[in-house]
Amino acid sequence: MKSDHAALAFPWPDVPEAGEAVEIAEGVLWMALPLESPLKWINVVALDDGDSWTLIDTGTYSKKTVGYWEQNLAGPLKGKPVGRVISTHHHPDHVGMTGWFMQRHDAEHWASRTTYLLTRMLVMDIEERPTEASIRYWHRAGMPAARIEQKKKERPFNFADICHDVPVGHTRIQQGDVIRAGGRDWDIHMGNGHAPEHVTMWSRDDNLVIAGDQVLPTISPNVGVQPAEPEADPLAEWLEACERLQPMAREDHVVIGGHKLPFTGLPRRMNDLIENHHSCLDRLLDHIREPKVAVACFSPLFKREIVDAIYNLAMVEAYAHLQHLYKTGRASRTLRDDGAYEWQAI
């Protein structure tokens, strides 16, 4: 279906370098921190509160990132302290430096309760070898035996690898809150699916939206089933959140997402995000007319080669789409003798 909404546009085509910022509006600075991942960078927003700054997300924790932040603090942030860090969600590229700011600047941590608890738990949960739950999940997804055996020998990724310790204490953000920052009142609306209780911020005073990873341009956020909750249906949660946020989208909104460039065209983007996932589900149903395991379902979802760097992301997302079909009664799920689920359209 062709949308009659305006196409996406990107008013600022150049990504700011370390030590630089783009003034999106008065009192609102956009900065970008490099990532060692296919996403390349994360967007950080600084809101001018007069004597201090409110930061929205922080990037991963590393010596390089500390160096970038030293440049940003001395440069565009003009040496003023960071008084508050707002975490949109618990993923390490968003919360990695939060504890550093809490300790160095005595910054307050504002987050949803789920974000705070997951951040604290995952930073402290250090694993040297894969858990039994993870291994079971890999089998359920149909991961090849040789790949499983190799992964069993490897140290898993730990949040603590790229996240600073996070001290105890936070101010809880809830659906319906109004937060004063950067000379504006921001309405809080919770996203879901990519991460639980994901904070999005909608300015009452102008046309700004800080969306985190809930709404991204040109790419869809990863929505995946994880070993910690193998029976979850995050795609249902993500679609519900998109459909709830969609009516608030305006053509004049300027959206700063967690990744990619700030953009306009939010009504079109919301429509596309919802329709694209329904199209993915339809293609997946056709693909599983004959039973398939999750890792055999990459082609209808992603339409490109899945390399090792994104294999796990593709696996958890394929699993999430299959699980949604199963939970909504459009597919069956059968456990094979080798521990893999086969999914088939009903």
Whichever domain contains 268, its CATH number is 3.60.15.10
The more confident residue out of 37 and 313 is 313
Tell me if 178 is assigned to some domain.
yes
Amino acid type, 58: T
How confident is residue 1, by pLDDT bands cut at 50, 70 and 90? very low
Q: Is 11 part of a structural domain of the chain?
A: no
Cα–Cα distance, 123 to 164 (Å, whole number) = 8
Q: Give the β-pairing of 108-111 and 82-86.
A: parallel
Average pLDDT across the chain, whole number: 96
80: in domain:
yes
- How many other CB atoms are found less than 10 A from the CB of residue 22? 17
Q: Does some domain include residue 310?
A: no
User: What pLDDT score does 3 carry?
Assistant: 59
Residue 5 pLDDT greater than 90, yes or no: no
CA distance 293 to 1: 30
Provide the 10 A C-beta neighbour count for residue 36: 11
Instruction: DSSP letter for 316, please.
Output: H
**What distance in Å separates the CA atoms of residue 106 and residue 84, rounded to the nearest whole number?**
8
Half-sphere exposure of 189 (CA within 13 A, CB side): 20
Q: b/e string for 63-83 if b means 16 or more Cβ within 10 A? A: eebeebbeebbeebbeeeebb
| Whole-structure pTM value | 0.96
Q: Which of 45-59, 91-105, 130-144, 297-311 has the lowest mean pLDDT?
A: 297-311
| Structural domains in the chain (count) | 1
Is residue 244 in a domain?
yes
When computed from its CA atoms, the radius of gyration of the chain, rounded to whole angstroms, is 21
Q: Is residue 94 part of a domain?
A: yes
The proportion of the chain whose per-residue pLDDT surpasses 70, expressed as a percent, equals 99
Residue numbers of the domain that contains 46: 22-127+156-281
- N- to C-terminal Cα distance for the chain? 26
| Predicted confidence (pLDDT) per residue in 260-308, tens digit | 999 999 999 999 999 999 999 999 999 999 999 999 999 999 877 787 8
- The SS3 of residue 199 is strand
Domain annotation covers residue 223: yes
Model pLDDT, residue 307: 79
In whole angstroms, give the CA distance from residue 162 to residue 265.
Answer: 33
pLDDT for 265 = 98
Q: Among the listed ranges 140-149, 166-175, 201-210, 303-312, which one has the minimum average pLDDT value? A: 303-312
